[in-house]
């Protein structure tokens, strides 16, 4: 998947592109609107990651530019301004999703995947890994074709794990993914622990491999090398 | 009381209490004076004639020119231009019970060396009669005056006070959020033009301050969030690298703090936005639906913590609230109810037409319940919270004129949010001039 990152902060841009590169994305970076417009005209991207505040203008202008030039890439807005206006305008102007800084990199990855899945109309709504398969339309999780009795949050968490396989997922990132930004540190990490424990129990009960492991001090990891 | 009524009353009061008595007195005195003067003149003339008659050596009759005269020979004389004038009320005819005022003029004449004192008298209009005449004229004048005042005052006030009302109306509709400066109608009235000058000065300043405040809030948020995003992403990349166990713990601690910092920053920015009234409720949202959704999404947590949830949510509860605030409100309240609970505790959520009540079991609060809604005040030392959730909830309630109340009774923490009655909001929408007038009376 080819991604254009439009972000003026060099440090942040390097973090994001490094992370995405590890996930196998081809990530190019533009630091301003002019450069971004040149690239958008010259190359094709599956997705555009767009910062709103750019040195030479408002990132929202890129949205209208892309519409004018009939560029079909998906757009994910990354904004530090978590003001509602921007979110509403952005989504109305054709952005696919909106992520507020500071975000967790695995969250960005999960959102990108979700956008990508939605955009590919012929794409399957089943995400599978070995014996685990998740149907994102019906929210059904199966292991070895046995339907698991999972709650919505558990399903979301398992999907988050599979999308970010072989990545360390911090408890903070999991909590933010499950309960959103405004939950006043509801992220009592016991809950994360409980959810993870339940998922592991349910997968094991269906004779699945226990891929999810604890990373000492940091969080959890969906380890594909486990057998 | 309306301005025009005040002016009218003041004017009428001055007229009735000061102008009418003084004016009546002056009129009365001057009329009496004129009457007396002409009577005296006439009687002097009569005395003159009587003197001439005596000069001719004739005997004057008892009446000359309709006036009763008396001629008395006296030994001494007075100068020709000396007159003695008296006036007194006399009972002219006791049977008629009629009091009259009589004016007498006495003068001295010398005929052939013989001195005569000639006294003539006449009846003139009494003061009561003058007053009676005055009363009729004053009353009718007053009636005309009051009628005209009442009829024209409102019209005049509407014309004269038009710039004032226009300014008031503009102020009533003034909203900082629009960031539009007030354009006031120019007026020739000195007071109103002064008022307009100060009002526009004030509102312009407020608008400028608001804009810079908003810019500051946005910039602060932006400037802080980008470094936070960098720290967070670098920490995540670092945790992917080859690290030892103790380093992992350090990273995790840093991640916790970054999380907390992020959260505080976001909450403060949210609070300042709420204070700036950026989340104006435009339409009603179904609180029933949102509450049920929230119950659903918190169901897992409640089960995980081994809590017992009871809820009674009425259908069709619609409130005027910004949709994104509904989630924040419910998440904070239900989140608190879960976090500050005891093992095997209970959570009760009741929603009906008038209020939303969330109660939960928990340890009694240590601080003053009033301070619960202040920033960074925590009832119990709980490291998982920064103590800003309830103050956000309070702010949301305040800007939407919901009444929020916290109680602790029979080991239950209870937060009640009462919604304003629907009729009030519709009345506030009326902004016609009559409504404006009513408001001014307050």
Tell me the pLDDT tens digit for each residue of A92-144. Answer: 888 888 888 888 899 999 999 888 888 775 567 888 888 899 988 888 999 99
pLDDT of residue A170: 87
Contact B218 A83 (CB under 8 A): yes
Taking the C-alpha atoms of residue A172 and residue A182, their distance in angstroms, rounded to an integer, is 13
Which of B278, B279, B300 would best serve as a mutation to test chain A binding (most A beta carbons within 10 A)? Answer: B300
The predicted structure's pLDDT at residue B427? 41
Query: Where do we find the tokens 């994305």?
Result: A25
Each residue's pLDDT tens digit, B120-153: 888 887 777 878 888 888 889 889 988 998 888 8
- Are A180 and B331 in contact (CB < 8 Å)? yes
d(Cα A174, Cα A179) in Å, to the nearest integer?
Answer: 9
- pLDDT band at A183; cut points 50, 70, 90: low
Cβ B296–A152 below 8 Å, yes or no? Answer: yes
Amino acid A184: pLDDT: 55
Pairwise CA distance, residues B386 & B264, whole Å: 7
Task: Give residue A89's pLDDT.
Answer: 77
Q: Which of A121, A69, A63, A122 is nearest to A97 (CA)?
A: A63
Of B249, B270, B335, the CB nearest to A186: B335
Domain A126-222 has CATH 1.10.10.10: yes
By the CB < 8 Å criterion, does B276 face chain A?
Answer: no
Distance between CA A141 and CA A187 in Å, rounded? 24
Place of tokens 């072989």: A166
CB under 8 Å to B196, separation ≥6 — which residues?
B163, B167, B184, B185, B186, B187
Domain residue spans of chain A: 2-119, 126-222
Beta-sheet pairing, A74-79 with A47-51: parallel
Rounded Cα gap, residues A132 and A142, in angstroms:
6
Picking from B225, B297, B385, the nearest residue to A185 by CB comes out as: B385
- Min distance A220 CA to chain B CA atoms (Å): 11
User: Where does residue B111 fall: left (phi above 0), alpha (psi -120 to 50 degrees), or beta otherwise?
Assistant: beta
At B44 the pLDDT is 87
Distance CA B53, CA B120 (A): 14
Q: Which tokens go with A43?
A: 């190359």
Rounded to a whole number of angstroms, the distance from the CA of B273 to the nearest CA of chain A is 9
E strands along B214-345, which residues?
284-286, 308-313, 318-320
| pLDDT of amino acid A33 | 92
Any idea what DSSP says for residue B146? H
- What was the ipTM of the complex prediction? 0.83
| CATH hierarchy code of domain A2-119 | 3.40.50.2300
Widest CA span in chain A:
56
| pLDDT given for residue B240 in this prediction | 85
Query: If you ran DSSP here, which 8-state letter would residue B188 be given?
Result: S
Domain B284-426 matching CATH 3.30.565.10: the answer reads yes
Which of B266, B305, B384 lies closest to A181 in CB terms?
Answer: B266
Q: Tally Cβ neighbours within 10 Å of residue B179.
A: 11
What is the predicted pLDDT for the residue at A172? Answer: 84
Residue A145 and residue A38: Cα distance in Å, rounded? 48
pLDDT score of A36: 93
What is residue A109's predicted lDDT score, i.e. its pLDDT? 92
For residue B35, give Cα distances in angstroms to B28, B99, B215, B262.
11, 17, 85, 99
Q: Give the residue extent of every domain in chain B.
A: 3-156, 191-275, 284-426
Phi, psi of B69 (to 5 degrees): -125, 160
Locus of tokens 């601690």: B253
| Cα–Cα distance measured from residue A57 to residue A64, given in angstroms and rounded to the nearest whole number | 13
| Rounded Cα distance, B221 and A81, in Å | 7
- CB neighbours of B206 closer than 8 A, spacing ≥ 6? B176
Q: From the CB of residue A132, how many other CB atoms can be counted at a distance below 10 Å? A: 21
Q: Is the pLDDT of residue A81 over 70?
A: no
The span from the CA of A45 to the CA of A60, in Å, is 18
Exposure of A214 in the CB half-sphere (CA atoms within 13 A): 8
Q: Taking a C-beta distance cutoff of 8 angstroms, is the pair B347, B385 a contact?
A: no
E runs forming strands in B3-113: 63-64, 67-74, 83-93, 98-111
* Sites in chain B below the pLDDT cut of 70: 91-99, 218, 222, 375-386, 422-442
Comparing B381 with A51, the larger pLDDT belongs to A51
Q: Is the peptide bond before A102 cis (omega within 30 degrees of 0)?
A: yes
Choose from A175, A186, A189 for mutation: most chain B CBs within 10 A: A186
In the prediction, which pLDDT does A123 show?
60
Q: Six-digit token pair at A58? A: 């408002």
Closest residue by Cα to residue A154 from A145, A144, A143: A143
Distance between CA atoms of residues B67 and A74, nearest Å: 123
Task: State the Cα–Cα distance between residues B182 and B203, nearest whole angstrom.
Answer: 7
**Interface membership of A219 toward B (CB under 8 Å):** yes
Evaluate whether the domain defined by B191-275 bears CATH number 2.60.40: no
The full length of chain A comes to: 227
């Amino acid at each position: 998947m080819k991604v254009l990152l439009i972000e003026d902060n060099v440090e942040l841009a390097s973090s994001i592109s490094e992370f995405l590169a590890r996930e196998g994305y081809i990530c190019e970076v533009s630091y301003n609107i002019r450069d971004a417009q040149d690239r958008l005209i010259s190359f094709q991207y599956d997705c555009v990651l767009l910062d709103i505040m750019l040195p030479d203008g408002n990132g929202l202008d890129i949205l209208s530019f892309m519409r004018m030039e009939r560029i079909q890439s998906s757009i994910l807005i990354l904004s530090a301004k978590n003001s509602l206006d921007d979110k509403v305008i952005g989504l109305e102007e054709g952005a696919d999703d909106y992520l507020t800084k500071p975000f967790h990199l695995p969250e960005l990855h999960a959102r990108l995947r979700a956008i990508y899945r939605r955009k590919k109309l012929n794409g399957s709504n089943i995400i599978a890994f070995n014996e685990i398969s998740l149907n994102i339309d019906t929210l059904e999780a199966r292991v070895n074709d046995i339907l698991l009795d999972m709650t919505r949050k558990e399903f979301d968490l398992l999907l988050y794990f599979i999308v970010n396989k072989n990545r360390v997922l911090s408890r903070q990132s999991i909590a933010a993914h499950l309960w959103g930004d405004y939950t006043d540190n509801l992220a009592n990490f016991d809950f994360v622990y409980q959810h993870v424990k339940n998922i592991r129990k349910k997968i094991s009960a269906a004779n699945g491999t226990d891929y999810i492991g604890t990373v000492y001090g940091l969080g959890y990891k969906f380890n594909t090398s486990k057998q | 009381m309306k301005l025009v009524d005040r002016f009218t009353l003041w004017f009428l009061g001055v007229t009735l209490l000061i102008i009418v008595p003084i004016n009546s007195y002056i009129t009365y005195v001057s009329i009496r004076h004129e009457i007396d003067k002409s009577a005296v003149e006439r009687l002097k003339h009569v005395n003159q004639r009587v003197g001439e008659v005596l000069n001719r050596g004739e005997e004057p009759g008892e009446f000359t020119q309709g006036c009763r005269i008396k001629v008395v020979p006296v030994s001494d004389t007075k100068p020709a231009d000396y007159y003695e004038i008296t006036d007194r009320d006399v009972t002219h005819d006791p049977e008629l019970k009629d009091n009259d005022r009589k004016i007498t003029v006495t003068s001295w004449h010398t005929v052939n060396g013989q001195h005569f004192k000639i006294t003539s008298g006449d009846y003139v209009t009494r003061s009561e009669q003058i007053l009676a005449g005055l009363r009729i004229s004053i009353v009718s004048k007053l009636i005309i005056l009051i009628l005209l005042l009442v009829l024209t005052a409102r019209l005049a006030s509407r014309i004269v006070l038009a710039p004032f009302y226009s300014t008031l109306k503009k102020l009533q509709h003034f909203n900082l959020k629009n960031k539009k400066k007030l354009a006031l109608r120019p007026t020739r009235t000195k007071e109103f033009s002064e008022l307009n000058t100060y009002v526009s000065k004030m509102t312009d300043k407020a608008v400028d301050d608001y804009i810079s405040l908003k810019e500051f809030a946005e910039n602060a948020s932006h400037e802080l969030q980008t470094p936070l995003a960098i720290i967070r992403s670098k920490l995540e990349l670092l945790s992917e690298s080859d690290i030892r166990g103790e380093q992992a713990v350090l990273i995790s601690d840093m991640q916790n703090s970054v999380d907390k910092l992020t959260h505080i920053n976001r909450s403060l920015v949210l609070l300042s936005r709420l204070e700036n009234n950026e989340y104006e409720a435009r339409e009603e949202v179904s609180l029933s639906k949102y509450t049920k959704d929230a119950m659903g999404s918190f169901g897992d947590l409640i089960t995980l913590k081994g809590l017992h949830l009871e809820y009674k949510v009425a259908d069709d509860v619609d409130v005027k609230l910004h949709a994104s605030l509904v989630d924040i409100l419910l998440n904070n309240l239900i989140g608190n109810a879960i976090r500050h609970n005891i093992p095997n505790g209970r959570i009760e959520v009741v929603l009906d037409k008038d209020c939303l009540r969330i109660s939960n079991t928990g340890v009694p609060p240590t601080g003053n319940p009033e301070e619960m809604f202040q920033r960074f005040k925590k009832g119990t030392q709980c490291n998982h919270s920064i103590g800003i959730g309830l103050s956000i909830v309070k702010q949301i309630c305040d800007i939407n004129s919901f009444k929020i109340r916290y109680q602790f009774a029979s080991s239950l923490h209870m937060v009640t949010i009462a919604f304003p009655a629907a009729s009030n909001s519709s009345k506030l929408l009326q902004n016609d001039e009559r409504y404006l007038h009513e408001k001014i009376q307050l």
